[in-house]
Amino acid sequence: MIALINKLLDWFKALFWKEEMELTLVGLQYSGKTTFVNVIASGQFSEDMIPTVGFNMRKITKGNVTIKLWDIGGQPRFRSMWERYCRGVSAIVYMVDAADPEKIEASKNELHNLLDKPQLQGIPVLVLGNKRDLPGALDEKELIERMNLSAIQDREICCYSISCKEKDNIGMTHLSERFYSTTKLFSYDLISKE
């Protein structure tokens, strides 16, 4: 009986309630941020992505969920903008090229510098290690260690290994399943699984 009531409440909520969230996507250049946005929005992967100059904003609506997603350029000249676009968002998504060991240290430093900003205190962070389809890519455990994520104690932080090219682990169900309770993200799949 309780299960039936819960299903009925979920159905009413879906009819009359719409969830909106704002996310900012940051990370070093060539980590796959814009590709991630395009795969989430359209389900399509393209090898021919042009690096983001400055920022792009995209609204993605699937079902009752609308996500306003800021994709901020990762080149050194744009990194000073990251803090401004991260203020007041539902969560920060930090993209790492898990297959490029030479950039891991710089990526770690940029993430920790960003999260040291007082205006961003408490905002949850989702670290995505992209390009797991490539040989030598770091897995989640290695990313947590190399990015020193266990040192981040003032907010919720999750780390996932993904592949935009293979569309692997990038459905919002995968990304928000454990993140839900603290960020109020809802587990809706934003790309179709084939």
Q: What residues form the annotated binding site for Mg(2+)?
A: 34, 52
| Binding site, annotated residues | 27-34, 52, 74, 130-133
| Binding site, annotated residues for GTP | 27-34, 74, 130-133
Q: Helix (H, G, I), strand (E, B), or coil: what is residue 35?
A: helix
Whose CA is closest to 85, among 53, 58, 55?
55
The rounded distance, in Å, linking the Cα atoms of 107 and 33 is 13
The rounded distance, in Å, linking the Cα atoms of 62 and 41 is 9
Q: Helix (H, G, I), strand (E, B), or coil: what is residue 163?
A: strand
Whose CA is closest to 147, among 120, 163, 126, 132?
126
